[in-house]
Amino acid sequence: MTESDTSNTKLDPRDRRRVKRLAAIPLVLALAAYLGQILTSVLLSSQPLLLISLNATDPMLLLAAHQTEAIAFLIVGTVRLFAPDLFLHQLGMEFGPATKEYLKAEFGPHNGFIRTIEALERWFPRVGWVLLFAIPGYPMCLLAGIARMRRTLFIVVNLAGTVSRLLLIYWVSSVFEGPVGASVRFISRFSLPFTFAMVALVMLQSSRGKKRTSEK
């Protein structure tokens, strides 16, 4: 990398503040997912839409789909999943490759988020929109911005992929209504031990994340 290339991947203090502002919403929603995970047994039966507004991972979506009407599930799920994506795309658009270098410096080169971006970026020039449709998550949305994917195309492909994912999950929940319903009843019946298990799991996930960051 030349001296000119190196300077293009560095952010000044003003840019760093901008990065943190753009990353704030995705970060808050990522933290909310931990809260939703802990409160799964409390919210699943009584407030399934609130649950997926906090945590919209596939297992939570599958369980909540059993408890909700299709339209409400699709609306809440789409809003929750798409909410952070525009911020990540804008972040990549504004700062390009410097975004990845900044995150690598903050979290270390072995961070799972960074490694996912690096694994995907070699394929993006050829099949970027296909990848975005199939896996419109945090790494893919940031990478789409870094690659300067047009905002309109990003929104259309992202939403199409997100809605398709939600429809598939709702269909799977309907097809396997018996097992999914049994899982919901099991979680509700053993609410307290399940909550303790989720707290332990969140603590484990958090400690692993801190360990990877400390090893950078």
Buried residues in 186-195 as b, exposed as e (16+ CB within 10 A): ebeeeeeebb
pLDDT at site 3: 37
> What is the rounded CA–CA span in Å between residue 55 and residue 61?
8
Q: Dmax of the chain from CA atoms?
A: 62
* pLDDT score for 91: 95
Q: Mind listing the pLDDT tens digit for each residue in 177-208?
A: 999 999 999 999 999 999 999 899 888 877 76
| Domain carrying residue 94 | 26-214
34 domain-assigned: yes
Assess if residue 119 is contained within a domain.
Answer: yes
> Residue 149: left (phi > 0), alpha (psi -120 to 50), or beta?
beta
Taken as a whole, the chain contains a residue count of: 216
Crossing angle of helices 13-38 and 191-214, rounded to 10°? 150
Quick one: tokens of 31? 């933290």
Q: What is the pLDDT of residue 202?
A: 86
154 within 8 A of 132, measured Cβ to Cβ: yes
Rounded Cα–Cα distance for residues 95 and 146 (Å) = 7
Query: One digit per residue, pLDDT tens: the chain, 216 residues?
Result: 333 343 455 788 888 899 999 999 999 999 999 999 999 999 999 999 999 999 999 999 999 999 999 999 999 999 999 999 999 999 999 998 898 888 888 877 777 888 888 889 889 888 999 999 999 999 999 999 999 999 999 999 999 999 999 999 999 999 999 999 999 999 999 999 999 998 998 888 777 665 554 554
In a domain, 39, yes or no: yes
Q: What's the number of domains the chain is made of?
A: 1
Rounded to whole angstroms, the Cα distance separating 113 from 74 reads 27
Q: Which residues contact 16 (CB under 8 A, 6 or more apart)?
A: 102
- Using the 8-state DSSP alphabet, how is residue 147 labeled? T
CA distance 103 to 65: 35
